[in-house]
Amino acid sequence: MIILGIESTAHTFGVGIVDSQWKVLANVYDRYTSADKGMIPDEIADHHKQVAEEVLEKALKEAQVMLDSVDQVAYSAGPGLDPALWSGYHFAKDLAARIKKPLVGVNHCCAHLSIGKVWNKLEDPCYLYVSGVNTQIIVSEGGKYHVMGETLDIGLGNMLDKFGRIIGLGFPAGPEIEKLAKNGKYVELPYTVKGMDASFSGLLTKAQQLFAKGVSKEDLCFSLQETAFAMLAEVVERAMAHTGKQELLLVGGVGANKRFCEMLDIMCKERGAVFYKVPVDLAGDQGAMIAWEGFLRKDSYGDVEVKPHWRADEV
Ligand code: AMP
Ligand code: MG
């Protein structure tokens, strides 16, 4: 069985093609970037419409697959930016109609979890899902995902991107912040953990204030990373202690950060657990994870239009 997956929830328009044995035949994407601003939903939707056909053609060519040998079209139904979701949905719906194959709408967050799990061949890990909008500690219980802890305000990636915009790094800022952090030293920032949840907006405000007072970009990038990553390491360690899980799986775009991975790896080793991540090209948003999730959910979901606020624990 060949499944084609379409991703369009935020900055990325992607087409991935996988088979039912979990072989990635193609994973092509085009990411919206900006030198001076963040994501403007209508601009993102326009971006997706402009690149869609070309990304599809490249993916088919890379996979060496003819469109009519695709057995199912999966798309990211949510959560995400409303206009971006609609652009992906219409493209997927037209495509499925053109080739007369089933259309399956899937949850984007679950797709991140599933691809990390299949890539690492894991049974039942504790998930730390950290992307632009989402920051959640998730476990699977009784056939459903359970969110044990999450951000109380903005996602960690959004916090980094917002700070990046303030200091002139453009979008996405995470990778640039990681580079600047290498030459920084620690300045104190608010560390906000409440039970199993974390909050990032105070951290952002304080960093912005210190930047206005002349503290260097490098020091602030370093301290933002150390503080935010330590907050999540604390909460995820508590989740592992409560559930007795011995495997931690980091997924989502912020999972590309080497320092974050290093901190989580140390935490896991200290408690005799094992830390897993996914390669950079599968960590962020892309279509292969949507195709794989579409295969897993082929009997439970169909055309669900778009669901901008669809949580993993509602699946
Ligand atoms: P996603 O929505 O899962 O594609 O993740 C996108 C988010 O990951 C954006 O907020 C990026 O700034 C962030 N990101 C990407 N690479 C890195 C990195 N190396 N360090 C920190 N954040 C990153
Ligand atoms: Mg994502």
Strand ranges across the sheet with 274-276: 144-150, 135-141, 126-130, 247-251, 274-276
Same domain, 127 and 101: no
Cα angle for residues 43, 312, 146 (degrees, 5° grid):
150
Same domain, 128 and 242: yes
* Packing angle, helices 156-166 and 174-181, rounded to 10: 70
The tokens for 168 are 């002139």
The tokens for 109 are 């967050």
Same domain, 301 and 223: no
Which residues, in sequence order, are CB contacts of 57 under 8 Å at separation 6+?
Answer: none
In the prediction, which pLDDT does 35 show?
A: 79
How far apart CA 275 and CA 208 sit, in angstroms, is: 32
In the prediction, which pLDDT does 237 show?
A: 98
User: In this structure, are residues 232 and 187 in contact, taking their beta carbons and an 8 Å threshold?
Assistant: no
Same domain, 133 and 230: yes
The tokens for 140 are 């699977």
Same domain, 133 and 261: yes
How far apart CA 311 and CA 204 sit, in angstroms, is: 25
In the prediction, which pLDDT does 284 show?
A: 87
In the prediction, which pLDDT does 39 show?
A: 80
Which residues, in sequence order, are CB contacts of 242 under 8 Å at separation 6+?
Answer: 148
Q: pLDDT per residue over 176-233, tens digit each?
A: 999 999 999 999 999 999 999 999 999 999 999 999 999 999 999 999 999 999 999 9
For residue 225, the ligand 1 atom closest to its alpha carbon is 21
In the prediction, which pLDDT does 64 show?
A: 97
In the prediction, which pLDDT does 14 show?
A: 98
- Ligand 1 center to residue 291 CA distance, Å? 21
For residue 112, the ligand 1 atom closest to its alpha carbon is 3
Same domain, 84 and 134: no
Same domain, 290 and 237: no
In the prediction, which pLDDT does 36 show?
A: 78
In the prediction, which pLDDT does 218 show?
A: 98
Which helix H or strand E contains 67, and what residues bound it? none
- Ligand 2 center to residue 34 CA distance, Å? 18
Nearest-ligand number for the alpha carbon of 293:
2
Residue in the structure block whose two tokens are 């219980």: 141
- Ligand 2 center to residue 76 CA distance, Å? 10
Ligand 1 mutation pick, 9, 81, 160, 204, max ligand atoms within 8 A of CB: 160
What is the chain's mean pLDDT, rounded?
Answer: 96
Same domain, 132 and 265: yes
**Considering the entire predicted model, what is its pTM?**
0.94
How far apart CA 199 and CA 220 sit, in angstroms, is: 17
In the structure, which protein residues have their CB atom closer than 6 angstroms to any atom of ligand 1? 10, 131-132, 157, 160-161, 172-175, 178, 252-254, 256-257, 284-285
Nearest-ligand number for the alpha carbon of 157:
1
For residue 130, the ligand 1 atom closest to its alpha carbon is 3
The CA R_g of the chain, rounded to the nearest whole Å, is 19
Residue 37 lies in a domain: yes
- Ligand 2 center to residue 160 CA distance, Å? 15
Residue 117 lies in a domain: no
Residue 262 φ then ψ, to 5°: -60, -45
| pLDDT string in tens for the chain (315-residue length) | 999 999 999 999 999 999 999 999 999 999 998 877 778 899 999 999 999 999 999 999 999 999 999 999 999 999 999 999 999 999 999 999 999 999 999 999 999 999 999 999 999 999 999 999 999 999 999 889 999 999 999 999 999 999 999 999 988 999 999 999 999 999 999 999 999 999 999 999 999 999 999 999 999 999 999 999 999 999 999 999 999 999 999 999 999 999 999 999 999 999 999 999 999 889 889 999 999 999 999 988 899 999 999 999 999
In the prediction, which pLDDT does 179 show?
A: 98
CA distances, 169 to each of 11, 46, 174, 281 (Å): 16, 23, 9, 22
Q: How many domains does the chain have?
A: 2
Domain that holds residue 301: 2-112+284-314
Nearest-ligand number for the alpha carbon of 280:
1
